[in-house]
């Protein structure tokens, strides 16, 4: 049986290591997704080069007028028959209206063990608080920041030697495992 892959858009703002990882995952024969579109909120996002490299349509929007931008993006999602949105280091907060239009079809990856450490600078705060564990979470996006239903989490041990940079590196490595695993969990019976 030929697997019908879910048409997916990935939203980024920066480095795009998760984007690169998701593209590689999408190219596997048994992957449940196909990435048809990359949306960036930043023209200088390094991650855009992965869209170019893998020949994926890319669009950049500055979000100066959020509601207009979101309307344009929704149209773009429709034109490209997108059925799933994966946020991966996307630094803009989507409006309630946008989320409603795509309810249950937007995922995000966050570099902490939610509900702990929502928002920005997670690694700095984890180190400052001398936490023994941190990690990452893939969750559905709802109208509250980093508060949607959790799909999967992975714990990471924080060592006494860790600083925000080393912790970020450790967590990112796990993020790259977790996002594909979460997609498999919700899209297939694997
Ligand atoms: C990741 O740590 C992700 O969890 C967070 O932003 C970072 C993006 O990294 N939301 P990258 O752009 O995918 O390399």
Looking up tokens 């990435």, which residue turns up? 35
Helix (H) or strand (E) holding 31: none
Cα–Cα distance between 146 and 62 in angstroms, integer?
A: 22
Determine if ligand 1 sits within 6 Å of the CB of residue 14. Answer: yes
Omega before 104 within 30 of 0, i.e. cis = no
Q: What's the CA-to-centroid distance between 2 and ligand 1, angstroms? A: 32
Range of the domain at 39: 6-187
Q: Is 24 exposed, middle or buried (0-12, 13-18, 19+ CB in 10 A)?
A: middle
The structural domain count of the chain equals 1
Residue 139 Cα to ligand 1 middle (Å): 14
CA pair distance 44, 66, nearest whole angstrom:
19
CATH number at residue 92: 3.40.50.170
First-last CA distance in the chain: 15
Q: Mind giving me the DSSP string for 42-62?
A: -TT-TTHHHHHHTT-EEEE--
* Residue closest by Cα to atom 5 of ligand 1: 89
Annotation says 176 is catalytic:
no
The reply to whether 101 falls in a domain is yes
Q: What is the C-alpha separation between 97 and 92, in angstroms, rounded?
A: 14
Q: Is 95 helix (H, G, I), strand (E, B) or coil?
A: coil
Phi, psi of 49 (to 5 degrees): -65, -25
pTM of structure = 0.96
Is any atom of ligand 1 closer than 6 Å to the C-beta of 110?
yes
Identify whether 70 is part of a domain. yes
| Tens digit of pLDDT at every position of the chain (190 positions) | 557 899 999 999 999 999 999 999 999 999 999 999 999 999 999 999 999 999 999 999 999 999 999 999 999 999 999 999 999 999 999 999 999 999 899 999 999 999 999 999 999 999 999 999 999 999 999 999 999 999 999 999 999 999 999 999 999 999 999 999 999 999 986 5
State if residue 89 touches ligand 1 by the CB under 6 angstroms criterion: yes
The residue whose CA is least distant from atom 3 of ligand 1 is: 89
Best of 175, 178, 179, 180 to mutate for ligand 1, by most ligand atoms within 8 A of CB? 175
Residue 30 lies in a domain: yes
Are 21 and 176 in contact by the 8 Å Cβ rule? The answer is yes
Is 122 within the bounds of a domain? yes
1 domain residue, yes or no? no
Helix-helix angle 164-187:17-26, to 10 degrees: 30
For residue 83, being part of any structural domain is answered with yes
């Amino acid at each position: 049986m030929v697997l019908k892959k879910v048409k997916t858009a990935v939203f980024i703002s920066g480095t795009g290591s998760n984007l690169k990882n998701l593209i590689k995952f999408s190219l596997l024969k048994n992957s449940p997704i196909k990435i048809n579109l990359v949306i960036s909120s930043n023209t200088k996002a390094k991650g855009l080069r992965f869209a170019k490299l893998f020949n994926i349509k890319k669009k950049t929007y500055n979000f100066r007028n959020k509601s207009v931008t979101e309307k344009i993006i929704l149209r773009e999602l429709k034109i490209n028959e997108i059925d799933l949105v994966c946020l991966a280091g996307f630094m803009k907060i989507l409006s309630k209206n946008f989320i409603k239009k795509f309810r249950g079809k937007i995922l995000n990856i966050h570099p902490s063990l939610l509900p702990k450490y929502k928002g920005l600078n997670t690694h700095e705060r984890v180190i400052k608080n001398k936490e023994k564990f941190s990690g990452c979470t893939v969750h559905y996006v709802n109208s509250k920041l980093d508060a949607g239903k959790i799909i999967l989490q992975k714990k990471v041990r924080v060592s006494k030697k860790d600083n925000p940079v080393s912790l970020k590196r450790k967590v990112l490595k796990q993020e790259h495992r977790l996002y594909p695993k979460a997609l498999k969990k919700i899209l297939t019976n694997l």
